[in-house]
Amino acid sequence: MRVVELFAGVGGFRLGFEDANLKLGHEYYKIVWSNQWEPATKTQHASITYRENWNLTEYNKENNYTNADNDDIHSNEDISMVDIADIPDHQMVVGGFPCQDYSVAKTLNKSAGIKGIKGVLWWEIYRIIEGKKPEYALLENVDRLLKSPTSQRGRDFAIMLSALDKLGYDVEWRIITASDYGMPQRRKRVFILAYRRDTPLSKMLRSKSPSNWIKSNGVFAKAFPVSIDALQTSLFEQKPPMQSIMDKRNYELHEVSDSFNLGKSKSTPFLSAGLMIEGEFFTQKVTPVYNQKIETLGDIMVESKSVEIEYLISPNDLLRDKGWIYQKGAKREPRKGTGGFTYLYSEGPVTFPDALDKPSRTIITGEGGSGASRFKHVVKFKLSNPQIKWLENHNQDEITRVRELIGLDNSEWLRRLTPVELERLNMMPDNHTLGHSASKRAFLMGNALVVGVVEKLAISLSEILNDSQ
């Protein structure tokens, strides 16, 4: 299957497809064209990483590349400036399109959603699907997408569903938390799989009941098993299962934008799993089912002796005003707002240090750098000789106080995660991002996806397609 990868980052989708090919025993998926462009960034770190890992030449129109002559081109240019004719024909388009406007890093009432600067890049996906008509599209975004914006919960996702409907596609979606299926990071994302209506998958979808497709028969169900509680099942049996995106079949996309869920509900109609067929959708809340080994943060940590001194946290940085212990702890304190008024700010503590016997928290783009942060990972580890000598050069009273406060024995200390550990949390090869600063490598991992999720979906899709033939 020929695949085009959009908003490719450091190649998470490609790695997932390659891992799937290894499991399948042959090259079922082949990336024929990829695009990665970060606006307002002089050095294109993600694109450089992608090209170097697969030994690709950067696409340049001056090179007179043609689709006929090149089957693996990497484009580092604004996707809106790429001609449809320059993109090879393909059977599947994939991409984790920019999610900043929907991200949980922003408060929901500040989310610009699909009208935001990065949100509008959805329409570039739409343009390519419209122009190339691939059989399938596999897309990834933050789960907040299903609730955006606050004024019209679910509107942005409804627009996307409607746009795909207009192009002749049925859609299946699922919110997947990687750690629910044994992977080492609690990264939650919504995955969207669109089928062109003349494909075997679309025909299979229509032959099954919506609930059975979600629970048993669909691509997501086979890759990531779920259960549906009896109450839900009973409720869905008592009312029509399908809901219309719009009250009428012939509607314009701007009507969805203007009116979807306007003044009707403060909650989104789109639950954690669902599907859409010709403008009507069915959605259910599902519970992950997984009974195998779960990889933990402790499982992916590198040997202590290989950890460079720069990742260790000094006693002073832990104890100082606004330092690590303060950032990680509970707070109840007066603060001044932007208008000069004073308000009482409060928040509870976070786990500190991070638990090693559980999957890690989600990596964020601000993971890098030595500055104290509430959100960066900090782990307890056994000191090796160079690290012991480093610690001996610090204030011994401060060392003793830290150990008493946090519960460390004389052989233990605290450090940040290394770039290799961050790569492992996304199930990427060690040193996949080598060549950039540690801070930039952390940033790239905060923007990446968990490769294992793509691998499982790719295997499930190939198996269902083979069964349909």
Pairing of strands 280-284, 287-288: unpaired
Q: Which amino acid is at 454?
A: V
Work out the number of other CB atoms within 10 angstroms of the CB of residue 253: 16
| Signed CA dihedral, 238, 239, 240, 241: sign only | negative
Please name every residue paired with 284 in a beta bridge, in sequence order, or none if there are none.
Answer: 273
The answer to whether residue 224 is catalytic is no
Long-range Cβ pairs for the range 345-349 (8 Å, 24+): none
State the pairing for strand pair 73-75/30-35. Answer: parallel
192 beta partners = 139, 173
Burial of 61 (0-12, 13-18, 19+ CB in 10 A): exposed
Instruction: Give me the catalytic one of 4, 99, 193, 427.
Output: 99
**Of 380, 211, 202, nearest in space to 282 by CA:** 211
**Which two structure tokens, joined as six digits, stand for 327?**
């950032």
Find tokens 């946090």 and name the residue. Answer: 406
Closest CA to 296 of 367, 360, 381: 360
The CA distance from 138 to 136, in Å, is: 7
431's CB contacts (< 8 A; 6+ apart) are 419, 420, 423
What are the start-end ranges of the H helices in 370-437?
A: 385-392, 396-406, 419-425
DSSP assignment string, 91-124: SEEEE----GGG-TTS-GGG--GGGSTTGGGHHH
Q: Reduced to 3 states, what is the DSSP secondary structure of residue 306?
A: helix
Give first-to-last CA distance, the chain, whole Å. 15
Backbone φ and ψ of 349, nearest 5°: -75, 160
- Residues 353-384 as b/e (b if ≥16 CB within 10 A, e otherwise) read bbeeeebbbbbbeebbeeebbeebbbbbbebe
Known catalytic residues are 99
